[in-house]
Amino acid sequence: MKRRAVVYSSDAGADLDWSYDVVAGASSPLTASRYERRIRRFCEGLDTASERGRRRDDIRPGLRVVGFERRVTVAFVVEPERVVVLRIFYGGRDWEGDWP
């Protein structure tokens, strides 16, 4: 099975920062940190069997989306040598409407 590097776009990094702030504000920084680590671990797992999730070519060619723990939608594309995590939407954000 092919392994690909997993990289994060700057938007995905900003999404992680935003979700951390939301969870930390509602709970605690420790809880937010643990949650962020779980999200990252999930994303890093896209390195193998990368072509999972639902294809959404209607939004962007090659776009795939997959859910995580009922609260997160991960949007990514699979390239020959890497998986690019484009966005990480938390808490029911309108991810379909948030594409240029």
| pLDDT tens by residue, the chain, 100 residues | 789 999 999 999 999 999 999 999 999 999 999 999 999 999 999 999 899 999 999 999 999 999 999 899 999 999 999 999 999 998 766 666 666 5
Residue 75, classed as helix, strand or coil, is strand
Q: How many CA atoms lie within 13 A of 84 on its CB side?
A: 10
d(CA 56, CA 40): 22
With tokens 């937010």, the residue in question is: 32
Tell me the residue length of the chain.
100
Question: Which tokens sit at 3?
Answer: 């392994």
d(CA 5, CA 24): 29
pLDDT of residue 24: 96
| pTM for this prediction | 0.90
CATH numbers and ranges of domains, the chain: 5-90 (3.30.2310.20)
